[in-house]
Amino acid sequence: MSDKKLTVALLFGGRSSEHVVSCVTAAGVYRALDKERFNAIPVGITKTGQFVPVSESVLLSYALDSDPLPEVAAGDERIIWPLATDDHTLRVLDAQNQITELGTIDVAVPMLHGPFGEDGTVQGLCELAGLPYVGSGVLASALCMDKHALKVVLETAGVKVAPWNRISRQQLAQDPQAAARLDQGLNYPLFVKPARAGSSVGVTRVTEPGGLAAAVDTALAEDHTALIESAITGREVEIGVLGGRGGASLRASDVIGEIRFTGRDFYDFESKYLGGAGVEIVLPAEVTDAEYQALRDAAFKAFDAAGCAVYARIDFFLTADGPVLNEINTLPGFTPFSMYPQLWEASGVSYSELITELIELALEAQR
C-alpha cells in the first residue's frame, strides 16, 4: 500500500435485527483504526435504510450496556453515496438542500450484520461505484447469508453439514399442518432458525414435536424461510480465515475457539453480547494436531466452495467423525471481544493490525 493516508467509509447500523451489534462493532473498529494510515468517515444506516452522517462522539458512545441501546438516528442530513466509478466522493445533503463534501473514499468497511448489509446488498452498492470494500463479494455474501443455499453448495462440495429441512412462509400459508412434518428424517433435539439472520436471533431449541410449530413461527418472524436442523453431538468450535496476499494461500488462525456450555442450551443472543451466564469461551481450545488440521482443511474447502474473499469466521461442530460445518460468517462479529478478532489476537495479530490487514486485502482485491 502507498504512503498516502487513505479514507475509509465505516458503514454500520442497518435494517436488520442486528442493528445494535453493528453499531457497537463500528465503535470498536473506529477506536482501533490506525489513524496515522487512515481517515475514517462514519456512515450510519438507520433502521429504515437512510444513510446518515454520525459524529465521532455519538459513535464512540455506542455500548451494549447503554440505556437506551445504540441506534442510528435519522436527523436532518442524508449521505449521498457514490454511484459512479469515476467519482468516489462522499457528500451530505442538509435540510436546506445544500450539498457539502465529506471526502473521497478509498475503501468501504462494512461492519454490518444480517440482511441488507451482510447479504450482498451493500456489496452490490459498492460494486456499482467500483469502490473497493472489505469482505466477500455479492454472490458469496448472499450465499453464506442463506443457510439453506449454503448447505446445498457445501454438501455438493463434500463439506459435511448437519441434516436439515426447510419451509417458507408461503409453504406454511398453503399448508398450515406442514410444520408438524418438518422433523421427518431428523433427530431431536432440533434447532429451528431463520435462513437469513445471525447473532442467534430467532433461533429456538426444540426437544419434542409439540414445540416445533411455535419455533417455526419465531424463525419466520425474522425471515421468509426457516431452517430445521438436527442437533449435532460435538464441540462447538470456530476458526478464523484470512485471504492470502498476492495470490498466496489462505491463512487460518493458529488457534481454535470453543463455545462451552455450562448452563445454557445453545449460544443465544444474551450469552453472545450481554454477558449471560451459562456459556464459557475457551481460547485457545484444546485440540489435537490432527483435529486442527481437519478443521483448517474443511474451513479452506468451505471458504473456496462458497467463493469467499478477504475474511470469514467458520463455525464447526467437532465430532468423533470429524468436523461438521455449522455456518460461514462473511462479516463476523468484530467488537474487540468478539471471537474472530480474539482468534487472531491469540495468533499474534492485534485488533488494530487485523483491521489494517482487512483494508489492505480489500484494496489488493480491487474487484
Same domain, 173 and 69: no
Same domain, 237 and 220: no
At which residue does the C-alpha cell 443472543 appear? 269
Same domain, 284 and 336: yes
204 lies in which domain range? Answer: 164-230
- The set of cell numbers assigned to 347 is 495468533
Q: Has residue 107 been placed in a domain? A: yes
Contacts of 185 (CB under 8 A, 6+ apart): 163, 165
- Give the tens place of pLDDT for each residue, 79-108: 999 989 999 999 999 999 999 999 999 999
**CA–CA distance, 6 with 153 (Å, rounded to integer):** 37
Q: What is the pTM of this model?
A: 0.89
Q: Which regions in the chain score pLDDT beneath 50?
A: 264, 267-269, 271, 273-274, 276
pLDDT for position 268: 47
pLDDT for position 274: 45
Q: Has residue 138 been placed in a domain? A: no
Q: Has residue 102 been placed in a domain? A: yes
Same domain, 352 and 224: no
pLDDT for position 271: 47
DSSP assignments along 141-172, one per residue: HHHHH-HHHHHHHHHHHT--B--EEEEEHHHH
Domain containing residue 105: CATH number: 3.40.50.20
Same domain, 300 and 176: no
The number of domains in the chain is 3
Q: Has residue 269 been placed in a domain? A: yes
Same domain, 148 and 171: no
At which residue does the C-alpha cell 473497493 appear? 132
Same domain, 290 and 154: yes
Same domain, 237 and 348: yes
Same domain, 151 and 266: yes
Same domain, 56 and 102: yes
- Give the tens place of pLDDT for each residue, 124-182: 999 999 999 999 999 999 999 999 999 999 999 999 999 999 999 999 999 988 988 99
Same domain, 216 and 322: no
Same domain, 156 and 205: no
